[in-house]
Amino acid sequence: GPEAGWATALVRRTADTMAAATFAAVANSKCRVCPVRTSCPVSGQGRQVVEPPAVRRQGKPERGE
């Protein structure tokens, strides 16, 4: 029927979202059981999970330059 591809579409959408460089943090009913809430900016427990960009010092080249 016309709804036969819903599961494939859902999996593809989810894969595209997971492969993206960024995620939109959205509060919802699953937040209390979310396995990544400690790294979520929406959660009060959230924290930064990547290193901030290196501070460039004048006259000192960054690694790789």
Contacts made by residues 16-25, CB under 8 angstroms, sequence distance 24+: none
> Is the pLDDT higher at 44 or at 46?
44
Residue 63, pLDDT score: 58
Write down the pTM of the prediction. 0.40
Distance from C-alpha of 26 to C-alpha of 61, rounded to nearest angstrom = 38
> Is the pLDDT higher at 20 or at 62?
20
> Is the pLDDT higher at 23 or at 8?
8
